[in-house]
Chain A
């Protein structure tokens, strides 16, 4: 069964980079462009992991994270923040809300994959096919 990852970012570029990073693995990446959409996709798709930006229109990542953690149905889904914002207080505040990890943009694919591998078991596609 492929791992399902939800990428929530208002930048199409970042969603594409995330999707590309996980292309070699047995996983599917679904997308949302803001926190409100992210909550809806999380509820319908039940991903094993959410990769979440902070600054987004409509609903930002911190609000989405807060609502996610208030939901009995969704609060167990681990979240990795992927954001350009890294101030100490900011990271500490978000950590308190309950994120599994935090990756600061700019980032390399390998850093993202490493962090995701700590949360979900990623299998290379070739191994699954064999």
Chain B
């Protein structure tokens, strides 16, 4: 494949992958939303992608209340109970892993062979800066009336 003519349509893939992950694992509807403000405090799962021709990171950003709701739904925690931080981290990390894993599989099917890392999870109000030369794209969604985002940093050579 000629790298100069190859385009990987991240938007098309992520707008299918993210709703599919939430629907299948949690039975929650995730709908594409327009770009805009994103709440500062968030729980973010990150999965690294690395290969000879590609490197990057896939982030799943959830506002704290939505991160708790997803943990409650996935672990079937009673509505009157608050999921622990480690439960929230594990669920957000696993959801990020599923999104990153699906993207990795599509890259491999396009002959861009790569591996993914185990997920890491960070909390707080922050913006992620992409290294020079890395294409950074942010995709916004809503779920349970809250905004969430999938951020993809990819450099394909």
Contact = CB atoms under 8 A, between A and B. Distances in A.
Contacts of A56: 118
Given A55-B118, A85-B104, A108-B24, A14 B113 contact: no
B94 A86 contact: no
A13 B118 contact: no
Interface string B56-99: 00000000000000000011100000000011001101100110
A107 B24 contact: yes
A90 interface: yes
B25 interface: yes
A14 B101 CA distance: 15
Contact of B109 (A55, A57, A87, A104): A87
A57 B118 contact: yes
15 contacts: A11-B90, A11-B93, A12-B87, A16-B75, A83-B101, A84-B101, A86-B101, A86-B105, A87-B106, A87-B109, A90-B105, A106-B20, A106-B21, A106-B98, A107-B24
Contacts of B74: 13, 17
Nearest to A108: B24
B90 A13 contact: yes
Nearest to B116: A55
B75 A13 contact: yes
B48 to A, nearest CB: 10
A5 to B, nearest CB: 20
Nearest to A111: B24
Contacts of B76: 20
Interface string B1-42: 000000000000000000011001100000000000000000
A83 B104 CA distance: 12
Contact of B97 (A17, A55, A87): A55
Interface in B96-120: 97-98, 100-102, 104-109, 113, 115-118
A88 B24 CA distance: 22
A31 interface: no
A125 interface: no
